Structure 1
C-alpha cells in the first residue's frame, strides 16, 4: 500500500508541521495491469473512495499513479474535475459602517475551515441582517483568504 501525506510546514519549517490530508492507494490485483483501491481523507470532508482498474504498472512514474488515483476518487474518472472558481463573497456594510460577510454565503469547504479558524475570535452582531449572529468581520475573511488566519 502507498500512503501519500499532505502536510503544512509553517514558514517552511518541519517543526510545527501538521497533516492536512492523506491518500491511501492499495493494490487489489497484481500483474502488468493492476487494480487499485483509493481512499482520500481530509477534514472536514471525511473519506472519499474510488477504484483505478487495469493500470499499466511500471509504464510511467509513481506520480502518474498517484495523480490518476486522486482523480478517480474525486470524479470517478481518470480526469481532473473542473478548476474551482475563485471565492467571490460579497462584503456588506452595516448601518454602523462595519464591513462584514455572511457565513451562510461562503460555500463549503471554505465555510467550515473559516468557522474553525474563527472559533475563539470576536464576531460582529449585525442587527439589521436577517441572521445577525451569522456574520464575520470582512477583514477576518480577507486575512483567511490570504493565509494569515
Structure 2
C-alpha cells in the first residue's frame, strides 16, 4: 500500500489548482492510468476518489446585429482565458467580442 500526493496545475492560467492525497493505494494492482484517474478525481473532488458533478452548460448570450456574436467578458473563468487564447489571431465582429460560431466550435472541442 502506498500514499501519493497530487497537485493539479492550470498551465494556461499559471496557477496551482488543487492538492489531494490518494491514500493506501494498492501498488501494482492496476495500471498507472488507474492511479492517474484516482489522483485527478481526488484533486477535483476535495479528496474523494470520485469525479465531481459535471458543471452546468455555459449560458453565454448570443447577440445578433446581422452577425451572431458573444461578449467574451460574459464567459466564466477559466474558460474565458482559454477561449481568448484560442481566438487570439481570429477576426472579431466588435472589440471584446467573438463570433458565436467560434464559441460553439470551442465548446464542441474543435478549436
After TM superposition, is the score higher than 0.5?
yes
TM score, norm. by length of structure 1: 0.60
List 4+ stretches of structure 1 deviating above 4 A: none
Between Structure 1 and Structure 2, how many residues are aligned? 108
- Indicate the residue corresponding to 2:49 in structure 1: 78
Instruction: Sort the Cα spacing of 1:50 and 1:121 in 2 relative to 1 into closer, same or farther, 3 A.
Output: same
Consecutive unaligned residues of structure 2, counting only runs of 5 or more, are none
- Indicate the residue corresponding to 2:102 in structure 1: 140
Rounded to whole Å, the distance in 2 between the matches of 1:65 and 1:146 is 28
Q: In structure 1, which of residues 26, 34, 37 is the aligned counterpart of residue 5 of structure 2?
A: 37
RMSD of equivalent CA atoms:
2.2
The higher-RCO structure (CA 8 Å, 6+ apart) is 2
C-alpha displacement of 1:80: 0.9
Q: In structure 2, which of residues 53, 59, 67 is the aligned counterpart of residue 88 of structure 1?
A: 59
Rounded to whole Å, the distance in 1 between the matches of 2:106 and 2:40 is 26
Q: In structure 1, which of residues 38, 51, 55 is the aligned counterpart of residue 25 of structure 2?
A: 55
Rounded to whole Å, the distance in 1 between the matches of 2:103 and 2:59 is 11
The answer to whether structure 1 residue 99 and structure 2 residue 68 are counterparts is yes
C-alpha displacement of 1:140: 2.1
Instruction: Sort the Cα spacing of 1:78 and 1:105 in 2 relative to 1 into closer, same or farther, 3 A.
Output: same
TM score, norm. by length of structure 2: 0.77
- Indicate the residue corresponding to 2:85 in structure 1: 116
